[in-house]
Structure 1
Amino acid sequence: MFTSLWIPFTVTAAFAQVARNAMQRSLTGPLGAWGATNIRFLFGFPFALIFFALVITVTGDPIPWPPAVFWPWLLLGALTQIVGTGLMLLAMNDSSFVVTIAYLKTEAIQTAIFGFVFLGDHLTLLKVVAIMIATAGVIITALRPGARGFADIKPTALGLLAAACFALSAVGFRGAIIIVPGVSFVTAATCTLVLGLLVQTAVLTAYLFLRAPDVPGKILALWRPSMFAGFMGAFASQFWFLAFALTAAANVRTLALVEVLFAQAVSYYSFRQPLSLREAGGIVLIVIGVGLLVSV
């Protein structure tokens, strides 16, 4: 009955993530990559608690306590997302931004591989083809031949490593969500979100106090913009987790490539930057890949 809801859930999450990433990127300068990374966790956690309270009230589900096998999956998802987010922000500050982002979008392919290996998520041949077409479209759209850093190992390494972290994070969180017993998929997803953000906030805040003790104070001083970034982060994650509860992580992360279309639309309408023939061709491939994914 609810299976197809993963599609609007994913599109909503991708749209919210564009706003969150933009806000985090603006905070990287004063806070550094890891300080800006902590924004989405520290300021997202209170909103996740509010979401959880609303879900429990509406569904009438009991507050679940996940079994022991839940925690390794949660830790895999939470910790790899911390590392992936930090690497993503480092990539955004690199001179070869578009190149690193292109490699970052190989996440969909890596998620398909990890999901099959760790969770046994089955993908049909057509879905695999759809993932590859959409990913190729993103890379064609983002890569600019002849740009500085095209052949540099640094953006390649940053992008691929961040993509691997996000892929493992998606698989870890899906593995945790589907283990939560005795409640609706909405409650299972939201419970996992709350516990994941709790772990991430504790780990990264402790790290900052040890390695950069001045940063927590700077974060609190920037609480106004951080509050919005935290809300958008929690909002996006809520819908990512709802989607993970309903379908394979690879399906979610492939449809999430519509984020590239949102970014292109913002670039065109806000900055009047015309599309090149290469970018238009890449967008066509993304649309074909995503369309094939949701139709099979």
Structure 2
Amino acid sequence: MLWIPFTLLAAFMQAWRNAFQKKLSKDVGVAGVTLARFIWASPLAALYLLGLNHWQPAHLPEFSFGFGGFIVAAALAQILATALMVKLFKLRNYAIGAGLAKSEAVLAAVMGVAFFSESLSALGWVGVGLGGCAVFLLSGASLRQMSVPVMLLGLGSGLAFALTSLWVRQASLELGLPFPHGAAWVLLLVILLQTAILLLWLSLKDKPTLTALWRRPKLTLLVSVCSCFGSIGWFTAMSLESVALVKTLGQVEVLFMLLISAFVFKEKLQNTDRWGLALIVLAAIAVMWA
């Protein structure tokens, strides 16, 4: 059951990371805000891996071609997912933008069963379904509110996040290392690759964005720290349990987002919030029992 506290840690830290990204997006472009998620996370991930090996020494992993493919695919998918979410922040309010991207739990369940040999019990599917309904209610969105660009960006971000999670889990399982070393290696390699890709792209195409990040060191550091701790939680939980169950329980992040939205960004919440919160609780109970 260790996947449960790791998932809750991930959800809490990701809610704050999204909040800091929203604030940073007011002054920095999409690629720059995406880079802020990774740029200071690499040394933190390296320290985490070193600490694990000091606490419980493990042999160095043997990297296969398949493992490398999963790492590259996960890194690119997460960059795309983050960029789409940042664009959502600019179109709708914070809760709706991030809430739409949480469609990843339902998408991860469907794709995991269809293409990644994962299985879900009937109770697990109930939890996933309840979680999807809860996210829609808690986001404060309605079909009449959402334009086609908003829906496409939200579903696109959710799909990219779902693929990221599924490929991260496959990469962790591929290494065959003891818990939680496999997830720590995957975390470090994915973040290093993402940082290198975005730094190279911005150095060649958009140097002013790098300058803008340099002028906002505290906010950039906060985004990276929250992202790193959130990723430690997600990667570790997904090495222990199916992506669908982890992401469904992780939808408690929307609760954290709503609280941040109300108290930090002073955004008005919807009357449907209490029903959404009730569904989140039911979904969490269902997936924990599943």
For residue 171 of structure 2, the aligned residue among 162, 170, 176 is 176
Q: Counterpart of 1:5 in structure 2: which amino acid?
A: L
Counterpart among 216, 234, 247 of residue 222 in structure 1:
216
CA offsets per residue over residues 76-121 of structure 1, 9 Å max, x none?
Answer: 1111000000100110111465544443221111001221233201
Structure 2 residue aligned with 1:76, among 73, 77, 84? 73
Cα distance in 2 for partners of 1:158, 1:28 equals 16
After TM superposition, list the pairs within 5 Å mapping 1:94-243 onto structure 2: 94-95=91-92, 98-145=95-142, 150-181=145-176, 183-243=177-237
Letter in 2 for 1:197: I
TM-score, normalised to structure 2, is 0.93
Q: Which residue of 2 aligns with 1:38?
A: 35
| Residue 266 of structure 1: how far off its partner (Å) | 3.9
The offset of 1:175, in angstroms, is 0.7
Query: Structure 1 residues 214, 265: closer, same or farther in 2, change over 3 A?
Result: closer
How many percent identity over aligned positions?
Answer: 28
Deviation at 1:34, TM superposition (A): 1.0
Query: What is the root-mean-square deviation of aligned Cα atoms in Å?
Result: 2.0
**Cα 1:271–1:79, aligned 2, differ >3 Å: closer, same or farther?**
closer
Give the counterpart of 1:93 among 90, 93, 100.
90
Please, which runs of 5 or more residues in structure 1 have no aligned partner? none
CA displacement at 1:276 relative to structure 2? 4.8
SS in 1 for 2:180: helix
Within 5 Å, which residues of 2 pair with 1:18-29?
18-29=15-26
Superposed CA deviations along residues 214-254 of structure 1, whole A, max 9, x for unmatched, are 22232223223212221111111011111011011111111
Could you tell me which amino acid in structure 1 is paired with residue 116 of structure 2? L
2:287 is aligned with what amino acid?
A: L
Which SS does the other structure have where 2:60 is aligned? coil
2:106–2:244 CA contact under 8 A, matched in 1: yes
CA drift of 1:151 comes to 4.2
Counterpart CA distance in 2 for 1:271 and 1:216 is: 26
- Determine the C-alpha separation between the residues in 2 that align with 1:45 and 1:135: 32
**Does the Cα contact within 8 Å between 1:96 and 1:150 map onto a contact in 2?**
no
TM-score, length-scaled by structure 1: 0.91
- Match of 1:30, SS state, is coil
